[in-house]
């Protein structure tokens, strides 16, 4: 035990789990503000952990979006940590009341010993029930939800194993059609840039793409804070035609994997396929940093997004999210619902200036 944290977990992406505490010996506490480093130390040693579990999200989601963050810790009688669960409440009169781990992200769920994971999940159900949340959703990856949580299988991710040389991926890993699509924007003179100075260009592409999709956009401060809070994990990159950004992405390193969490391109340049160059440039960069897996992020099985991600040759990975609901609620607000489809059509026709002013007000209320 070090600094009150029970060690013995695995590095991200490996197997193993912290030692078990005795039955009934744990209690649940709320993380206090100054103990973020202890939280992160536990997360970095826990099986099934992800960048979504890091304590910095509490600052971003709380300060920027105004959400209530309930970061819960399972501790033993000596103060040792055996498990953690980041919970965030997203509550609005427009969309409903949700308790999530983690909103706007793909992963979450309790980490730690079997006992701790079970107790933390039960504690989350209690909080959801006592507060009248319509849906509790713990976005697990790699393990089924415990106890009274039901498993939702409506989302998957696609993961591509990366070789240690980008030339191997180009020649042996990609189909000829994909290589041709990547070459197209190159032939038209498009180039890529990476770094924290790409946050603003990323956001300029992201806002236009989200408007065109009919979806409210998160505030720019959300991504600015990501760059500040996660300088080692976050990566921003853009594809340029001259000085104009035409495609952009933001993702995160975790262990040996990189996940592309947000990606966009401008519709008027679709013929040139700048999004293909964007993904290839990110893959090259991650191989150069000795990462071994490229995660394309979550999608709906069989969707157009799923087909785009699958063409790169990756494997599908189920995301067994755990849920508990009051009444018949089975998912967060879905754009496939008739009401949302109608709203999407209206939103996509708004002037960009209007969408950018109103979007952050609505987006922060969408889980």
User: For residue 19, what pLDDT is reported?
Assistant: 38
Question: Quick one: 146 and 86 in the same domain?
Answer: yes
325 located within any domain:
no
129 located within any domain:
yes
Give how far Cα 335 sits from Cα of 216, 300, 342, 352, Å.
Answer: 12, 12, 9, 20
The structure tokens listed for 344 are: 């999407």
User: For residue 359, what pLDDT is reported?
Assistant: 65
200 located within any domain:
yes
User: For residue 179, what pLDDT is reported?
Assistant: 98
* Rounded distance between C-alpha atoms, residue 169 and residue 184, angstroms: 18
Give the count of beta carbons closer than 10 Å to the beta carbon of residue 75: 20
Question: Quick one: 212 and 359 in the same domain?
Answer: yes
* Rounded distance between C-alpha atoms, residue 35 and residue 49, angstroms: 18
Q: Closest Cα to residue 320, out of 193, 207, 154?
A: 154
User: For residue 70, what pLDDT is reported?
Assistant: 96
Of 153, 183, 213, which residue constitutes the final position of a domain? Answer: 153
* Rounded distance between C-alpha atoms, residue 94 and residue 284, angstroms: 42
5 located within any domain:
no
User: For residue 29, what pLDDT is reported?
Assistant: 95
* Rounded distance between C-alpha atoms, residue 330 and residue 172, angstroms: 42
Q: Closest Cα to residue 270, out of 239, 315, 226?
A: 239
Give how far Cα 170 sits from Cα of 74, 173, 182, Å.
Answer: 46, 6, 10
Question: Quick one: 173 and 247 in the same domain?
Answer: yes
Contact 226, 198 (CB under 8 A): no
User: For residue 357, what pLDDT is reported?
Assistant: 72
Of 102, 118, 153, which residue constitutes the final position of a domain? Answer: 153
CA angle, residues 232, 237, 242, in degrees to nearest 5: 150
Question: Quick one: 193 and 61 in the same domain?
Answer: no
User: For residue 266, what pLDDT is reported?
Assistant: 97
Residue range(s) defining the domain that contains residue 273 = 157-318+333-363
Q: Closest Cα to residue 52, out of 112, 140, 142?
A: 140
User: For residue 215, what pLDDT is reported?
Assistant: 82
User: For residue 81, what pLDDT is reported?
Assistant: 96
Question: Quick one: 164 and 148 in the same domain?
Answer: no
* Rounded distance between C-alpha atoms, residue 284 and residue 137, angstroms: 34
Element (H, E) at 71: strand 68-75
Number of domains, the chain? 2
Question: Quick one: 146 and 163 in the same domain?
Answer: no
- Would you give per-residue pLDDT tens digits along the chain (367 residues)? 444 555 333 333 333 333 343 445 899 999 987 899 999 999 999 999 999 999 999 999 999 999 999 999 999 999 999 999 999 999 887 778 999 999 999 999 999 999 999 999 999 999 999 999 999 999 999 889 988 899 998 999 999 999 999 999 999 999 999 999 999 999 999 999 999 999 999 999 999 998 878 888 899 999 999 999 999 999 999 999 999 999 999 999 999 999 999 999 999 999 999 999 999 999 999 999 999 999 999 999 999 999 999 999 999 999 999 999 987 766 766 655 555 555 666 656 667 777 667 666 676 666 6
Question: Quick one: 113 and 163 in the same domain?
Answer: no
14 located within any domain:
no
327 located within any domain:
no
Question: Quick one: 32 and 120 in the same domain?
Answer: yes
Contact 331, 135 (CB under 8 A): yes
Question: Quick one: 79 and 194 in the same domain?
Answer: no
Question: Quick one: 127 and 188 in the same domain?
Answer: no
Question: Quick one: 250 and 313 in the same domain?
Answer: yes
* Rounded distance between C-alpha atoms, residue 222 and residue 63, angstroms: 9
User: For residue 69, what pLDDT is reported?
Assistant: 96
Of 92, 123, 153, which residue constitutes the final position of a domain? Answer: 153
Question: Quick one: 219 and 304 in the same domain?
Answer: yes
Q: What is the CATH number of the domain that holds 51?
A: 3.40.630.30
Give how far Cα 126 sits from Cα of 100, 261, 310, Å.
Answer: 13, 31, 39
């Amino acid at each position: 035990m070090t600094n009150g944290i029970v060690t013995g977990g695995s590095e991200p992406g490996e197997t193993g789990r912290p030692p078990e505490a005795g039955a009934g010996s744990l209690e649940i506490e709320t993380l206090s503000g100054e103990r973020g480093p202890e939280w992160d130390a536990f997360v970095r040693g826990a099986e099934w952990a992800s960048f979504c579990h890091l304590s910095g999200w509490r600052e971003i989601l709380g300060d920027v979006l105004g959400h209530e963050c309930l970061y819960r810790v399972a501790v033993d009688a000596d103060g040792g940590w055996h498990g953690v669960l980041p919970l965030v409440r997203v509550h609005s009169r427009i969309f409903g009341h949700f308790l999530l781990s983690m909103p706007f992200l793909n992963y979450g769920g309790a980490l730690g010993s079997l006992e701790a994971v079970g107790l933390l999940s039960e504690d989350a159900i209690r909080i959801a029930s006592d507060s009248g949340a319509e849906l509790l959703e713990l976005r697990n990856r790699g393990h089924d939800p415990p106890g009274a949580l039901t498993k939702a299988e409506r989302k998957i991710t696609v993961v591509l194993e990366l070789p240690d040389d980008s030339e191997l991926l180009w020649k042996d890993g990609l189909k000829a059609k994909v290589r041709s699509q990547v070459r197209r924007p190159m032939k038209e003179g498009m180039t890529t840039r990476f770094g924290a100075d790409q946050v603003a260009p990323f956001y300029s592409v992201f806002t236009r793409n989200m408007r065109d999709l009919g979806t409210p956009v998160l505030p720019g401060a959300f991504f600015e804070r990501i760059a500040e809070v996660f300088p080692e994990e976050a990566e921003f990159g853009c594809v340029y035609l001259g000085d104009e950004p035409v495609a952009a992405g933001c993702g995160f390193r975790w262990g040996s994997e990189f996940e592309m969490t947000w990606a966009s391109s401008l519709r008027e340049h679709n013929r040139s396929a700048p999004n293909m160059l964007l993904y290839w440039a990110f893959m090259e960069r991650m191989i150069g940093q000795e990462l071994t897996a490229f995660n394309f992020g979550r999608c709906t099985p069989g969707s157009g997004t799923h087909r785009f991600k699958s063409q790169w040759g990756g494997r599908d990975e189920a995301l067994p999210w755990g849920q508990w609901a009051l009444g018949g609620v089975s998912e967060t607000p879905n754009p496939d619902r008739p009401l949302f489809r109608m709203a999407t059509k209206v939103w996509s026709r708004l002037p960009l200036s209007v969408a950018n002013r109103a979007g952050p007000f609505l987006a922060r209320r969408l889980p």
